[in-house]
Amino acid sequence: MSAEQRPPSPSENRPRESSAGPEPSTDVELEFQPADETPTRTDAELHSRIERTKLQARVTALERALETREHQRAEIVTQYERILEERTDETEDETAGLLARLLERWR
């Protein structure tokens, strides 16, 4: 077979690289993983750690909200007790005043 009739070799099919670009390094090895691979153990561990951290943050936020509400309720109860005590004092004063006036009339 002559050179004109023979099919081109794979090296002849490759596009020629320009001389302006850097020379490829042969001492570097790259490892690629296909995207359709199942997650590795480290991926699962990382996912678990992220989920755990999210849950811990959520629990902390809920605990703070609960403490805030408990504090607000305690403030409301204290305010209610203060108002109730003031009303009781006013009622006692009015009752004492009425009683005093009635006693004065009876005398």
Residue 36 three-state SS: coil
Does 11 map to a domain? no
Q: What is the DSSP letter of 30?
A: -
Name the domain count of the chain.
Answer: 1
**Assessment of whether the complete model's pTM goes beyond 0.75:** no
The pLDDT of residue 86: 87
Vertex 50: Cα angle to 47 and 54 (nearest 5): 140
Q: Is residue 25 part of a domain?
A: no
| pLDDT tens for the chain, residues 1 to 107 | 555 566 665 555 555 555 555 565 566 666 666 666 566 678 889 999 999 999 999 999 999 999 999 999 999 999 999 999 888 887 777 777 776 777 777 76
How many whole angstroms separate alpha carbon 79 and alpha carbon 85? 10
What pLDDT does 46 receive? Answer: 92
Indicate whether 71 belongs to any domain: yes
Residue 36 lies in a domain: no
Size of the chain in residues: 107
Longest dimension (CA), the chain: 148
Domain housing 93: 46-106
Let me know if residue 53 belongs to a domain.
Answer: yes
